[in-house]
């Protein structure tokens, strides 16, 4: 009936009192058994509601598949976010380049007007009057 001293065939720990009652067949007494300390690590699997090992493995497989699916969706979402942000970055860089070009052209036109002896603000106001006519 006993597999090891202090262990029952089902894998559950058998106490000293229970062991001494069951030991009549093998003549093992409680005085000869060392006190077993509980070791750290993973606890023995206790199946609740008669869940078999195969059912447990199947649930684990399903959970792993779900996890992998969610991870792939998350990675795809991150990749799409990167593409969108790269696109936005290139648009902003183009806008900065256009802005710098316009500033450069404005400064050239301003310099030309100053060389002719006209103030840039007067030229703009004067041109506005021509359009009204």
In order of 124, 125, 126, 128, the CA distances from 132 in angstroms are: 13, 11, 10, 7
pLDDT of residue 53: 86
pLDDT of residue 107: 93
Cβ-proximal residues to 5 (8 Å cutoff; 6+ apart), any chain: 19, 28, 33
User: Among 108, 109, 102, which Cα is nearest to 123's?
Assistant: 109
Predicted confidence pLDDT, tens digits, the chain (133 residues): 444 554 444 555 555 555 455 545 455 555 566 666 767 777 666 655 667 888 889 999 999 999 999 999 999 999 999 999 999 999 999 999 999 999 999 999 999 988 888 776 766 656 655 555 4
Structure pTM?
Answer: 0.45
């Amino acid at each position: 009936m006993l597999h090891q001293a202090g262990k029952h065939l089902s894998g559950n720990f058998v106490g000293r009192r229970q062991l001494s009652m069951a030991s009549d067949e093998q003549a093992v007494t409680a005085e000869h058994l060392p006190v077993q300390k509980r070791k750290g690590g993973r606890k023995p699997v206790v199946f609740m509601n008669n869940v078999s090992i195969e059912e447990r493995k199947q649930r684990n497989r399903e959970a792993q598949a779900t996890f992998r699916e969610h991870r792939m969706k998350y990675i795809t979402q991150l990749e799409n976010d990167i593409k969108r942000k790269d696109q936005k970055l290139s648009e902003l860089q183009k806008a900065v380049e256009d802005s710098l070009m316009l500033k450069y052209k404005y400064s050239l036109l301003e310099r030309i007007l100053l060389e002719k002896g006209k103030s840039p603000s007067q030229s703009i106001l004067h041109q506005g009057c021509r359009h009204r006519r």
